Amino acid sequence: MKIKHLLLPLIAAFALTACSEEPKETPKYTTLENPVTVANVPAINEIFSLSCGACRAMEDAIPAIEQAVGEKVGKSHVTFNESSTFAAFIYYSAVSQTNGNPPEALVRDLFKYVQEQQTESVEDNKEILSGVFAKYGLTSLMIWTKHRKTKCLRT
């Protein structure tokens, strides 16, 4: 039993010393030319996915949060599997054409497309999503594959 009591502090001390070195330049780690600073990162950043129902419900609370804190909430779409990656392609296609600030109605329509409107038909999906983009004066930046989703390129 005494060994367990000694082992935990030993492991903790080892872990703390392992984290104390400054990172060194390697192929997997390089210093950014323009480091990210608190000044250029939103105070609040929503991490979301167009395929997430809870994230969709959270959209209704975002304006109240922005009003309460007096700042715009940033948005970052996650990519944790193939489906979320394709949803991110759709979202960032819209973001890139709206100077990083897609209208709330567009974001709602993108949630609706991803969660409700997609079908097994590639042609139907292309038509629906192109219609969503056209509604906001944007160009769909997707090429369609035989898979149910899209890849990000200009058509």
Indicate whether 1 belongs to any domain: no
Q: Which domain holds residue 80?
A: 42-152
Q: What is the DSSP string of 29-86?
A: B---SS---GGGS-SSEEEE-TT-HHHHHHTTTHHHHHHHHTSPPEEEE--SSHHHHH
Indicate whether 29 belongs to any domain: no
Number of domains the chain is built from: 1
- We report the CATH number of the domain holding residue 74 as 3.40.30.10
Indicate whether 35 belongs to any domain: no
Indicate whether 107 belongs to any domain: yes
What's the pLDDT at 43?
A: 74
What's the pLDDT at 149?
A: 47
Indicate whether 34 belongs to any domain: no
pLDDT tens-place string over residues 7-56: 666 566 555 555 556 667 777 777 777 776 666 667 788 999 999 999 99
Per the listing, tokens 């959209």 go with 59
**pTM of the predicted model, to two decimals?**
0.66
Q: 35 vs 13, 31, 38, 85, 121, CA distance in Å?
A: 31, 8, 10, 26, 44
pLDDT tens-place string over residues 92-150: 999 989 988 899 999 999 999 999 999 998 889 989 999 999 999 998 765 444 444 44
User: For residues 37 and 67, which has the higher predicted lDDT (pLDDT)?
Assistant: 67
Indicate whether 32 belongs to any domain: no
Give the angle subtended at the CA of 68 by the CAs of 48 and 47, to the nearest 5°.
10
Indicate whether 21 belongs to any domain: no
